[in-house]
Amino acid sequence: MEKFLTPTGEEKIKKDLSELKRQIPEVAKRIASAKEKGDLSENAEYSAAKEEHRRIQEEIERLKNLLNTAKTVDKKDSSKVCIGSKVTVKKNNTKKTYTLVGSEESEPSQGKISYESPLGQALLDKKVGQSAKVKTPKGEANLSIVDIS
């Protein structure tokens, strides 16, 4: 499945990638220091540093791959809900605002929902005044689109 990012999400991933790359020399120093202490087979410090190095390398590769393969979507259409849209919905006289983002940027507690989530899928391509049905653990919910920006 094709991945999408908002410009903000792309910048955050680039920042995270830069931070991870910055950590590599420090971890390399820890590995070298642990090696100097002798027997590596029972050296917990060495094992922990090697594991940290492996974890950082894997995350760097994952983020590089994401940046190389994901499309950055710069939302320009406010007539319908799309990736990058801030959409206000109404359910039973209660309004909530969500921002549709890529799965890597999703932070539901902050109102950032993935376009791949059930709610995100239900909202995609809807216009102000339209309804969206979404399955929830409590059953189906009907949401009315109030505003898109």
Read off the pLDDT band of 139 (50, 70, 90): confident
Task: Specify the CATH number of the domain 4-72.
Answer: 1.10.287.180
Q: How many CA atoms lie within 13 A of 121 on its CB side?
A: 6
Q: What percent of the chain has pLDDT over 90?
A: 72
Token readout for 75 is: 């939302």
**Distance, CA of 126 to CA of 143 (rounded, Å):** 11
pTM of this structure: 0.78
What confidence score (pLDDT) does residue 27 get? 94
pLDDT, one tens digit per residue, over 58-78 is: 999 999 999 999 999 987 778
| Amino acid, res. 58 | E
Record: fold of 86-148: Chitinase A; domain 3 (3.10.50)
**Distance, CA of 23 to CA of 40 (rounded, Å):** 22
Place of tokens 């990736």: 83
pLDDT, one tens digit per residue, over 18-70 is: 999 999 999 999 888 888 876 666 678 888 899 999 999 999 999 999 999 99
Q: Mean pLDDT, to the nearest integer, of 136-143?
A: 89
Token readout for 82 is: 């799309």
Cα 136 from chain centroid (whole Å)? 22
What confidence score (pLDDT) does residue 78 get? 82
Where do the structural domains in the chain lie, given as residue ranges? 4-72, 86-148
- 88 with 96: CB under 8 angstroms? yes
The per-residue pLDDT of the chain, averaged, comes to 91
What confidence score (pLDDT) does residue 146 get? 96
Q: Which residues pair with 6 in a beta bridge?
A: none
What confidence score (pLDDT) does residue 11 get? 95
